[in-house]
Structure 1
Amino acid sequence: MSQIITRLFDSFADAEHAVIELERVGVPHGDISIVSHKSDKKHARAHVREPHDNTAGEAAAKDAGAGAAIGGVVGAAGGVLAGLGLLAIPGLGPVVAAGWLASTAVGAVVGGAVVGAAGGIVGALTNAGVSREEAEVYAEGVRRGGTLVSAKVAEDKLALAEDAVSNVGYVDVAARGAAYRQGGWSHFDESASPYADDEIEIERSRWARR
């Protein structure tokens, strides 16, 4: 039986580090997901592929047909980060993403075809066992420029995986949710307009580590 480890990062570099650490301790590539706001300039060195001629669902199906595990978007070679691609997730707009969480958020992939939506990123997280309250903060964090890493971890690797990400600078989701609510936010709204690049920069500067 597996459990979910989910972390929000203000820095894509920190999220990248967390993914590498999870892979290092033996969490399978297909069990790790990363979803990051498209505007982060650091994606350039992650060799992001942009499926210009595909919808989000078609891109997920295309990846699945190319050899990813059912329900996953991650490429077969080079780990999770090698499978990063551009997708559109409800409420977030364009994101750079890979893994089971991304494909579940845009639609279920079966036999290389997208067969139905799964409630966006909040639905994907709650279906995997994350509380609704935390899932909404995670989704809002990505909407505001953050990067989400979520992994399905077998019990025998859980302690190792927790240790692997414990020293990476992740967000305290309870404190961040409280800060959002203090600013007037109440819940993640999939129908809201995605943040503009200048709004993202303001958010990032707000949470930048001193």
Structure 2
Amino acid sequence: MQTITALFDDYDDAADAVGELESIGVPSSDISIMANNARGWYRNTQSAAAEDAASGAGIGAVVGGAGGLATGLGAMAIPGVGPVVAAGWLAATAAGAVAGAIVGGAAGRIIGSLTDAGVPEQDAHVYAEGVRRGGTLVTARVE
């Protein structure tokens, strides 16, 4: 299994890339997306029933292309990175890191998660900084 990662300037472009990955057969459970939300562009306006369904499925449940991806997004604040919205396996790891992190620890855990998945450490630092500066990161585990 390899990890493929790309940093996008625009969330819509990243969401399109996720849709393309799904259309060629990459399972949704092997795709993650993380976007900076410092400007508050993403607001979770789902109904309570939708939120319950999403939480029951887990943060890694990204189903049905960009539409499903949007419903799977969860908001969190990552020390050293700032407010982000994320979905997928990397987001689940980051959420766990945030739960027990001291300041700066979660950003390090994102970098650690990427490096554990095979992303070179220097690249992982660039990706974390790219998200901090407003980018959107798409990561996929592929054969």
TM over 0.5: yes
Alignment match, 1:33: 32
State TM-score, norm by structure 2.
0.77
1:16 & 1:77 partners in 2: Cα distance? Answer: 12
More deviation, 134-143/81-90: 81-90
> 1:6-46 CA distances to partner (integer Å, 9 max, x unpaired)?
000111111011011001101111110000000467x55xx
State TM-score, norm by structure 1.
0.54
1:21 to 1:104, Cα distance in 2 relative to 1, 3 A: same
1:77 to 1:134, Cα distance in 2 relative to 1, 3 A: closer
- Which structure has more RCO (C-alpha within 8 Å, separation ≥ 6)? 2
> 1:72-109 CA distances to partner (integer Å, 9 max, x unpaired)?
x233643433301211223112101101111112317x
Please provide the CA RMSD for this pair.
3.0
- Does residue 1:133 correspond to 2:122, yes or no? yes
Report the alpha carbon displacement of residue 127 of structure 1 after superposing the two structures with TM.
1.1
- Does residue 1:87 correspond to 2:76, yes or no? yes
Which structure's CA Rg is the greater one?
1
Structure 2 unaligned regions, length at least 5 = 47-51
1:76 & 1:132 partners in 2: Cα distance? Answer: 26
Alignment match, 2:56: 66
% identical equivalent positions: 53
Judge conservation of contact 1:34–1:150 (CA < 8 Å) in 2: yes
Equivalent position SS for 2:21:
helix
Structure 1 unaligned regions, length at least 5 = 52-61, 109-113, 155-210
Count of matched residue pairs: 131
Matches within 5 A, 1:157-176: none
Report the alpha carbon displacement of residue 50 of structure 1 after superposing the two structures with TM.
7.1
Judge conservation of contact 2:28–2:63 (CA < 8 Å) in 1: no
Judge conservation of contact 2:38–2:134 (CA < 8 Å) in 1: yes
